[in-house]
A and B are shown apart, each in its own frame.
Chain A
């Protein structure tokens, strides 16, 4: 997934991720990618919540994804194999205590097993390598071909057979603190044939300690001693086993991300929805143009047709969306956020076409549905959340506000909104602001019309937004009437 180093599943998430996940319905997206596999889900989550901003790094993933879309069966097979290798390793029980010997035996066993998987991986790679051209997959296949080839696997297997120590363990040691034996260095195990001179000398040495062997305690001590002798080698072997397993684990995780992309692509294609490789511009270029931009999460939840929006907001730092309730405002807001997150993790974008400058973090400030009380405590809560966002903002961040600051009266709410949106604009933070506050929208359109795109949702607009300055009512009355019947 990146040119330097494995993908880190535990990399720090975007700040305020919990709000983002809830507001953008990201769990639906991940579920759509995972199709019930919790590891695919975790990978999808980790990748979307750690967006990239470097166009080169994104191009690297986009190229790999392009390979995957063209070689879906091979990629799924590689992923399955890596998954099997990791699961096989996990099935081998780990010793409970810190016994080096147990560790050694287990590690030798693991390595023997994983040699088989490496061999299989090499075969699979050799048979499908021709269809791939991205740097990511070329590198993987070259590694398998040049370094983990049959010759190497044979030498490993030969080495592993020497670990039974049938004729004893030979080591050298020094005296450490308290005259404890330390720095044990193992000699190659004495073999079956003619003993080496050192082995002979040790066998004949008159200085011998034989375990009295009356108490269990003594045997435990002897085992501990043996364990310390083997410690260095056991550590080396188990470290190596872990490394080999980590290789498979990293392979499984990274392929898992692409398998998730494949799953989603399949679903969207079946629904007849478009998706495209996005054009990502460097941060700060202020690019945002989309054709038929839609919210994939809504598409995954509903069977109804999904409406896309065409936006051209290049060089416009603020988008103000007003208009009818249930006219598609929130959905549009989500589609902007989700599209950025998808595009910036190297995925395709939910649109027929998308070019955007990379956002330095995506933030949401949505009205909290569960609490509609018009108290100053509520306003306090909203402001506190906005303050948390401000703490983490950088120029070129993307902030999505959904009916913010409506918990006070419209005049005060508009004042606060103008103040905040004005400051963010000055800082180069991009804002999409969905609001019913006519005073705010009106003042923005008269005071700073040039940097702003105004969109409006119409009651019968088929959820499609059109450019337009706000109308004074939000059609709530209509909606109310529709749902509850005519008010008397």
Chain B
């Protein structure tokens, strides 16, 4: 459960001042810290632990125009049993699809996995609030228990923080009991200062999770951007005692990458966040690499693409 303070127009100035007063970030320093954490050497039993944890944090995703019920059904089955030859393999955290295919996912996973739907005119976010809310409600009605919304980056970049805030509040209400992830689309925000501001804005407006990217814009998730978001979440926790989750989405393809993110979480916000309830990977191809690495750790030899399923 998150807390939020609905702001009236009169207090937008308060929101602006608050965001302006957040500490700045030195890009070079932040990148250096993220890179340094990426040099941690995670081997043997800690690598196995990390791989299994990463698998359990995956939101297995398909968000293509060409998606069909068949595609979603197959992916959902894999989400439940990522490696049919090894039942000890953990299942993923969620499947992530467009709102109109939520039903197909739900049919396969039942109550065993979360079903996350992207909503609010994903990925661009360019539509009226009514359209965005309708998008959200339909996904929730169809059975999504997690909603991944996008913020209005245009509004953010022209300084209309109040509009961005209000939309998140409204979408959160439309979610009902569903969990809200707020996508910042960091690749369009560009500066780390913007990422910090957007993170705080989203948390104050009611986000349960803040998410880096839609995956449709490059760069998507990066270690420095995720570090900044984790630091915002840490600071928010210091202030409110509430833990907000972070989802790194897009561009994370290999186990090595995923493990770097886990190290990042471990050494920034701390190991309380090393749970699918507070950290997720938005990914599609990552899962197979995790499975291949898992197989290698268990069998002792390198595995190959024939030994993991394509959906």
Binding between chains A and B: no
